[in-house]
Structure 1
Amino acid sequence: MSANTILPIDRQTIVELSKSRREPEWMTNLRAEALELAGSLELPKLEKTRIDRWNLRSFGTYKAEAALTSLEELPESAKALLQDEGQGQPENLLVQKNSSVVYHSASDELAKQGVIFTSLEDALVNHADLVKSYFMNVISKDENQLTALHTALWSGGVFLYVPKNVQVNVPIQALFLTDDAEATFSPHILIVAEQHSSVTYVDNFASVGELNNLVQNGIVEIIVKAGATVNFASVHNLNASVVDLSYRRAIVENDANVHWVIGEMNYGNVLSDTTSVLKGNGSNSDAKIICVGTGEQKLNVTTRAIHFGKASTSGMITRAVMRDESTAIINGITKIEKGATGANGEQTEKVLMLSPKARGDANPILLIDEDDVKAGHAASVGQVNPDQIHYLMSRGITKEEAQRLVIYGFLAPVVSEIPMEKVKSQLQSFVERKLGQ
């Protein structure tokens, strides 16, 4: 299989685009190498999901967008996604529209602390050596065809660097918006938290209009150095004409923490893979995932923790609600490597089906290569309990309201523990919208 059969682009075009964007030579070469790899690598093999049957050809081409002069130029639906923290307009915000970043704001306080928050494209120009140290080192370009294509085609994106001992007390935000099916939409998010630093990053993915099977092929790489903490929240709400492919991975060093909150509120097919590599002793990861499937959606959602460090801990909670003829494959994987003594990994996956035609599959997997560890899992797949509905209706509650209460009770173990109030309210709003409530 050649790259030309996959993409409407060739090596020369990739090289010319890279040079026109003033990218360093190493990035130009990396893009070209990745494009060649994409022609020979296979698609990822997903549990019980034939991704090769999805429409994965419409990656678009790079199209520069005009910068926004004001956030008021955004669609109302997009503006509603931004967290203002009671200050009117967000201070630390990056907006990407289709292929390019169109708005960027960073507070003076961030600059004083030495925090770098900018587009990845600008970081390649102004902080090239720093980016080179980390870019595509957490996720490799040659893992599969999708990671190779991303490496070749990524654009826009975020670079967030937090120096040693710096505590960022306000959320860093990004909005990724697509409304052009012919434009590449493959942001790359790179977050580096140096020793004993902390930061909260929140993003939203949104779409406007019909996009003719556009593919969002995004990657998140997070490096959490010793004693640091990264809180990462991402809510995806792309329409049915967008296929959403998202790989997220963090490397967590000694006594460091990564906390994931992921809301898969899309209407099209979804591949979601969120992984914590617990490299350091005493490292910790926590993942809370919510999915809602509607129509004929196909979701393959994997949450993974790989323990290398001694006394490392991981927790994973996933809740999926499926209606209509949607299908969800929910995978939880805890891998404890030899030598990770004292590790503790816990996971729970639950799927609630609201329709007899909906399908759900929860796959808890424990892979243990060390004796002195703790690990546990729980999984369930089922429909709404009619006894619960009947009980609530007997107390004068309508059937629709009773179903709503049961659904929110099912999601509560995840939603109630989300520390970011704006993210929590967004997820609740999207759940109501997707379930027609």
Structure 2
Amino acid sequence: MNEEILNFSQAHAEPKWLQELRLKAADAFNEIPLPFIEKVRLERWKLDEFKLAESLETGNVPTFTELPNHPMLVQVGSQTIMEQISPELADKGVIFTDISSALTEIPEVMEKYFASLVNFNENKLTALNVAAFNSGVVLYVPDNVEVMEPIENLLFHDSESDLPFYKHVLLVVGKNSKVEYLERLQTLGNGKEKIKANVVVEVIADKGAQVKFSAIDELGKQVTGFITRRGLIGDSASIDWSIGVMNDGEVVSDFDSELRGQGSHSNIKAVGISSGKQTQVVNTRVTNYGRNSVGHILQNGVILERGTLTFNGIGHIIHGASGADAQQESRVLMLTDKGRGDANPILLIDENDVTAGHAASVGQVDEEDLFYMQSRGIDEETAKKLVIRGFLGSVVTEIPIKSVREEFIATIDRKLDI
């Protein structure tokens, strides 16, 4: 394994520190266990498949009717097929590129921050990602830069390829800077190659930074995966997350916000739909370290057919985080009596002068809402769709690009028509 890693790293002219990091992660991979996720027998998913490779050619290629007028990067498999950023942003020092280019353009930033928030020795899957990631993306926004247009990152899995979907994404947003970022994980084509996905996203928000992070995950039935997204939030900084969990395969989505700074803020909104026989888990944590820090979690999900959807919400206020606020709410709508829904709230409070609370429910569509709409001439199926759209609307409305919002609504409707 180590010789394979060394050969891959040298072939891509990676710096010495990254070679050594990969090798250390590989050693840890052989020694440490899988992460523990409530309600899931993760060992059955066989996510610990070590395969270090890259796609030599791209089979499925996305089509664009017109090029967007905002920064965009597109990868299919491990290949970058499109990359654009305005000259104005480039002049301000904004970098939006693949990992290989970022290692050349901002080497000090990469060495300081890469795999610093999602450490390889946490569990077997973080170790696997650091050791065997084959591609990824970096967004760097220097201090005091406000990015006015949304930045879009499209990461496509090619369904005709057996290449594991091992991605590493790093966002570093400097002091008092502001950015709106949209990430999309999607499967292209109708191939039947079964593969594993291991995606790690690290978001660093420095003092006073404001980050709006939106994501729509639509990986196909062929994909079994683990998606880790984590934010580190400094003094008076904020990361607002809006995540749509719309995969068709077996996926764990693990979100974590570390409120390290005084007055730091994180608001996590996650919505999901599980159908068929699939299992999806949304595991969300907010940890308040800083005084007067605020961390809120809102999770809404819908279950169809024999699907399983689990929301684990964890709010942890560390001793010393006086004035902190931790709130969470998880709601699951059951549109079937054959599926399974769980909403598991956990509050861990190690400080006295704080505000904390949680709410959780699993239930059916409100009959009064349906009756009201039907009394106005709307048929039952349309009424149900409207109720569910509204239920999931907390994330839909946060998507910064109109065409993507419309695609997201179409995805919701597609899953509801199954």
Bucket of the pairwise TM-score, normalised by the shorter protein: over 0.9
Please tell me whether residue 300 in structure 1 is matched to residue 281 in structure 2.
Answer: yes
Counterpart-to-counterpart distance in 1, 2:182 and 2:373: 37
1:58-87 Cα offsets, whole Å, 9 max, x none, are: 56542244589xxxx9334xx47xxx7xxx
Tell me the residue number matched to 2:43.
52
Which of these residues, 147, 153, 158, is aligned with residue 132 of structure 2?
Answer: 153
Secondary structure of the residue aligned to 2:252 is strand
Secondary structure of the residue aligned to 2:267 is strand
1:346-396 Cα offsets, whole Å, 9 max, x none, are: 111100011110110001111111110111111110122345434533443
AA aligned to 2:6 is V
Q: What TM-score does the superposition give when structure 1 sets the normalisation length?
A: 0.90
Please tell me whether residue 373 in structure 1 is matched to residue 351 in structure 2.
Answer: no
Secondary structure of the residue aligned to 2:370 is helix
Correspondence 1:195-344 to 2 at 5 A: 195-208=175-188, 209-344=190-325
* Aligned partners of 1:14 and 1:32 also within 8 Å: yes
The number of residues matched between the two structures is 416
Q: What TM-score does the superposition give when structure 2 sets the normalisation length?
A: 0.94
Deviates more, 1:27-36 or 1:245-254: 27-36
Q: Shift in Å at residue 185 of structure 1?
A: 1.7
Tell me the residue number matched to 2:123.
144
Which of these residues, 163, 168, 192, is aligned with residue 188 of structure 1?
Answer: 168
Counterpart-to-counterpart distance in 2, 1:90 and 1:64: 29
Counterpart-to-counterpart distance in 1, 2:262 and 2:192: 46
Alpha carbons of structure 1 residues 211 and 16: separation in structure 2 relative to 1, 3 Å: farther
Q: Shift in Å at residue 420 of structure 1?
A: 5.1
Which of these residues, 88, 110, 130, is aligned with residue 109 of structure 1?
Answer: 88
* Aligned partners of 1:59 and 1:214 also within 8 Å: no
Secondary structure of the residue aligned to 2:383 is helix
Q: Shift in Å at residue 308 of structure 1?
A: 0.7
AA aligned to 2:61 is L
Give unpaired runs (5+ residues) of structure 2: none
AA aligned to 1:115 is V
Alpha carbons of structure 1 residues 242 and 256: separation in structure 2 relative to 1, 3 Å: same
Which of these residues, 88, 103, 113, is aligned with residue 124 of structure 1?
Answer: 103
Counterpart-to-counterpart distance in 2, 1:289 and 1:41: 29
Which of these residues, 2, 13, 18, is aligned with residue 27 of structure 1?
Answer: 18
Q: Shift in Å at residue 247 of structure 1?
A: 0.5
Counterpart-to-counterpart distance in 2, 1:402 and 1:48: 32
Q: Shift in Å at residue 89 of structure 1?
A: 2.9
Counterpart-to-counterpart distance in 1, 2:50 and 2:248: 18
Correspondence 1:390-401 to 2 at 5 A: 390-401=371-382
Alpha carbons of structure 1 residues 29 and 377: separation in structure 2 relative to 1, 3 Å: same
Tell me the residue number matched to 1:6.
none
* Aligned partners of 1:196 and 1:229 also within 8 Å: yes
Counterpart-to-counterpart distance in 2, 1:220 and 1:121: 16
AA aligned to 2:337 is P
* Aligned partners of 1:94 and 1:104 also within 8 Å: yes
Counterpart-to-counterpart distance in 2, 1:17 and 1:174: 25
Counterpart-to-counterpart distance in 1, 2:142 and 2:284: 28
1:80-128 Cα offsets, whole Å, 9 max, x none, are: 7xxx7xxx43442111111232221221011111111111121123322
Secondary structure of the residue aligned to 1:157 is strand
* Aligned partners of 1:60 and 1:185 also within 8 Å: no
Counterpart-to-counterpart distance in 2, 1:421 and 1:317: 23
Alpha carbons of structure 1 residues 258 and 422: separation in structure 2 relative to 1, 3 Å: farther
Counterpart-to-counterpart distance in 2, 1:117 and 1:392: 46
Q: Shift in Å at residue 26 of structure 1?
A: 1.3
Give unpaired runs (5+ residues) of structure 1: 1-9
* Aligned partners of 2:58 and 2:77 also within 8 Å: no
* Aligned partners of 2:269 and 2:394 also within 8 Å: no
Deviates more, 1:128-137 or 1:276-285: 128-137
Counterpart-to-counterpart distance in 2, 1:95 and 1:412: 26
Please tell me whether residue 12 in structure 1 is matched to residue 3 in structure 2.
Answer: yes
Secondary structure of the residue aligned to 2:247 is coil
Secondary structure of the residue aligned to 2:165 is coil
1:175-226 Cα offsets, whole Å, 9 max, x none, are: 1111143223211111111110111111111112234321110101111111
1:290-311 Cα offsets, whole Å, 9 max, x none, are: 1011111111101211001111
Alpha carbons of structure 1 residues 130 and 414: separation in structure 2 relative to 1, 3 Å: closer
1:384-431 Cα offsets, whole Å, 9 max, x none, are: 234543453344322211221221232234434555544433322211
1:31-69 Cα offsets, whole Å, 9 max, x none, are: 12212221221111110111111142556542244589x
Alpha carbons of structure 1 residues 34 and 58: separation in structure 2 relative to 1, 3 Å: closer
Query: Aligned Cα RMSD in Å?
Result: 2.0
* Aligned partners of 1:58 and 1:214 also within 8 Å: no
Which of these residues, 342, 346, 366, is aligned with residue 361 of structure 1?
Answer: 342
Counterpart-to-counterpart distance in 2, 1:338 and 1:351: 32
AA aligned to 2:246 is M
Counterpart-to-counterpart distance in 2, 1:326 and 1:176: 25
Counterpart-to-counterpart distance in 2, 1:422 and 1:301: 26
Counterpart-to-counterpart distance in 2, 1:91 and 1:393: 42
Secondary structure of the residue aligned to 2:166 is coil
Which of these residues, 384, 404, 416, is aligned with residue 365 of structure 2?
Answer: 384
Counterpart-to-counterpart distance in 2, 1:144 and 1:327: 24
Counterpart-to-counterpart distance in 2, 1:253 and 1:241: 38
Counterpart-to-counterpart distance in 1, 2:208 and 2:89: 20
AA aligned to 2:184 is N
Secondary structure of the residue aligned to 1:260 is strand
